[in-house]
Amino acid sequence: MLHEPIVSLAIIVVLGVGAQWLAWRLRIPSILLLLLAGMAIGPLSAALLPAGQPILNPDNLLGDLLLPLVSLSVGLILYEGGLTLNLREIREVRSVIRRLVTLGALVTWILAGFAAHFLLGMEWKLAALLGAILVVTGPTVIGPLLSHIRPQGKVGPVLRWEGIVIDPIGALLAVLIYEALLVGGVQDAAGATAQALLMTIIVGGGLGTAAAMLLAWLLRHYLIPDSLQNPVSVLLVVLVFVISGELQHESGLLATTVMGIVLANQRGADVRHIIEFKENLRVLLISALFIVLGARISTTDFAYLNWHSLLFVAFLIAIVRPASVWVATIGSGLSRQERVFLCCVAPRGIVAAAVASVFAISLEEAGIEHATTLVPYTFVVILGTVAFYGLAVGPIARKLNLSTTNPQGMLFIGAPAWTRDIAAALHKRGFKVLLADTNYEHIRAARLAGLDAVYGNVLLEETVEMLELAGIGRVLALTPNDEVNTLGSQRFLRLFDRANVYRLASASEARADNAAPCDMPGRRLFASDATYATLASCLGSGWVVKVTTLSEEFNYEDFRTLYGPHTILLFIIAQDDTITVITDEKPIEPQPGQSVVAIVNPDELLMMS
């Protein structure tokens, strides 16, 4: 029964999404759990079960469709990655990215090729091809890592752009080496390589640009109904990928990447809803691909996991990546910490596996000896780099002060006087706070109080791009305009988990005194009757924001007795400096040892005394 196709497909989906959720709960990179889950139902289950058959065998399940489906999925992932690339965010690091994907890629290819020859004993031709395959890093691995650690500064955009742009470049380089292997002869190989390079750029770049402009034109002129915009987008991506690949071998990845980048950076049509759909599709595709990748490893491939291959992986991590980054970032203006961090992120993923598998089959059919070794050595590199970078990148980023594991900072949308009082109280306790407002006097007052503040409308993309969100884990919409609070919450749902986006209750919600509608974005802050008018009135009439540490002798009940029943509880700070935002969803009872942040009426103390 376990070998029924429907059961195998269900296993892939359940394990893929389950591993993503478990990784989120455990706060570890999801790609580690995805690979381990894939290996558990693949080679490990084959070794442990009496029948010697794995629970999941992707080659038997999909047959000849496996590699085409993997390639098409990678094309969709690169398209989604291209949609996230905004040219404005890389003004200061454009030259760094350009050198990383050109000069850095060349250094990686040369050093990896030499290492493959001398450490793995591969012939020069195959070593050169393996070096080209290992040039790629890829968004399937870089994206989840960046989402997990959320580095600050310039390294995030640099790695995101490099990871997406390097995939088609690495695949193209591998195609050129492959063509040279098949042609033979220096002059013939050079001619074939130059022709293949030119055709790939023309076909892939041209079709990708044309498809993006066509989709933008259709959207701009309302020729596609809202319900079909995402399906039509997928249709065009698949069409471009296939046609480009048919016209020029392995140019489909370049075509989909270019299509995403062009579509994201045109200004005629709004494509944010397409980006949100593709983000959800990307999670599903990455989950399935890494489960399949892990399950596809055979027990015989473990024979290649020896000290030669481990030394090869160590050489890639300790020598090749630092060398390529250091050469590409000379005079770049990046700080030493940022350059060190870039040296520590270069995991290989599904693109390398797919390219290696395709070329190994083709070269074996062409009579190239030992071509099959490309696949197991590539898998060893994938496993080694994913394991190392997945476990090491987070601690390294925190050591370099470029990231925090569980960001506790807060973005306040709106910066009137009472909001500044709340932000100042949290800032005094060591929490990062950032305020954004369209009223410059509010921003000026916040800056004079020593608070980070940005002048601008968060409903505009330009303002969101200005925000330094490293260390920010929650968004609180606190403007006097209920519609702005709702729209602001909606905008930040794509940057933060839904559980970390909050807004004030509207006046109509406060009058109704019931639960927030399920279709309203943002969790309702503090209490159902805690509207902008209520909070502004309290703090404007002498109430203050007070931080109080509870104890066994002075518990929360004593606190409420002291300050009265009308006290408005805002936050609870635990002893490990994690903060809980109070909402109207369910009552929370602060415990001794915790600190409460509340709006209190000092007159209550005077009346008691």
Residue 155 near residue 342, CB atoms below 8 Å: yes
pLDDT digits over 255-292, tens only? 888 898 888 888 777 777 777 677 677 778 888 888 88
User: Is the whole-model pTM more than 0.75?
Assistant: no
- In 3D space, the residue among 149, 157, 32, 12 whose CA is nearest the CA of residue 85 turns out to be 157
Burial group, residue 562, by CB count within 10 angstroms (0-12, 13-18, 19+): middle
3-state SS of 482-530 is HHHHHHHHHHHCCCCCHHHEEECCCHHHHHHCCCCCCCCCCEEECCCCC
435 has which bridge partners?
412, 453
> Taking 80 as the threshold, does the pLDDT of residue 234 lie above it?
yes
Distance CA(309)–CA(437), nearest Å, equals 55
pLDDT band at 606 (very low <50, low <70, confident <90, very high): very low
Tokens found for residue 176: 């050129």
pLDDT digits over 1-41, tens only? 455 788 888 888 899 888 888 877 776 767 778 888 888 88
Three-class secondary structure of residue 380 per DSSP = helix
Distance CA(453)–CA(474), nearest Å, equals 16
pLDDT digits over 333-354, tens only? 788 888 888 888 888 877 787 7
Residue 162 near residue 343, CB atoms below 8 Å: no
Residue 558 near residue 537, CB atoms below 8 Å: no
DSSP symbol at 516: P
Sign of CA dihedral 316, 319, 325, 328: negative
CATH number of 63-293+301-399: 1.20.1530.20
Domain 409-608 in the same topology as domain 63-293+301-399: no
Element (H, E) at 280: helix 272-296
Distance CA(591)–CA(112), nearest Å, equals 56
In the chain, the largest separation of any two C-alpha atoms, in whole Å, equals 98
Residue 191: what pLDDT? 64
Tokens found for residue 238: 């698949």
* Cα→Cα distances 440→146, 464, 600, Å: 33, 17, 28
Strands in 460-567 per DSSP E: 472-477, 501-503, 523-524, 544-549
- The domain limits of the chain are 63-293+301-399, 409-608
Within 10 angstroms of residue 604's Cβ, the number of other Cβ atoms is: 17
pLDDT band at 315 (very low <50, low <70, confident <90, very high): very high
What proportion of the chain, given as a percentage, has pLDDT over 70?
88
Residue 566 near residue 601, CB atoms below 8 Å: yes
Average pLDDT, stretch 514-542?
75
Q: In 297-416, which ranges are continuous DSSP H helix?
A: 307-315, 321-328, 336-343, 350-365, 374-399
Average pLDDT, stretch 299-322?
87
Distance CA(256)–CA(236), nearest Å, equals 9
Three-class secondary structure of residue 29 per DSSP = coil
Distance CA(568)–CA(530), nearest Å, equals 8
Average pLDDT, stretch 355-361?
76
- In 3D space, the residue among 360, 314, 394, 349 whose CA is nearest the CA of residue 35 turns out to be 349
Residue 1 near residue 7, CB atoms below 8 Å: yes
pLDDT band at 527 (very low <50, low <70, confident <90, very high): confident
pLDDT digits over 474-492, tens only? 899 888 888 888 888 888 8
CATH number belonging to the domain at 409-608, selected among 3.30.360.10, 3.40.50.720, 3.40.640.10, 3.10.180.10: 3.40.50.720
> Taking 70 as the threshold, does the pLDDT of residue 186 lie above it?
no
Distance CA(300)–CA(357), nearest Å, equals 16
Q: What is the mean pLDDT of the chain?
A: 81
Residue 403 near residue 150, CB atoms below 8 Å: yes
Tokens found for residue 225: 């109904």
Tokens found for residue 357: 């598998």
Distance CA(19)–CA(95), nearest Å, equals 37
Residue 307 near residue 82, CB atoms below 8 Å: no
Question: Which amino acid, residue 533?
Answer: A
- In 3D space, the residue among 42, 519, 95, 492 whose CA is nearest the CA of residue 302 turns out to be 42
> Taking 70 as the threshold, does the pLDDT of residue 512 lie above it?
no
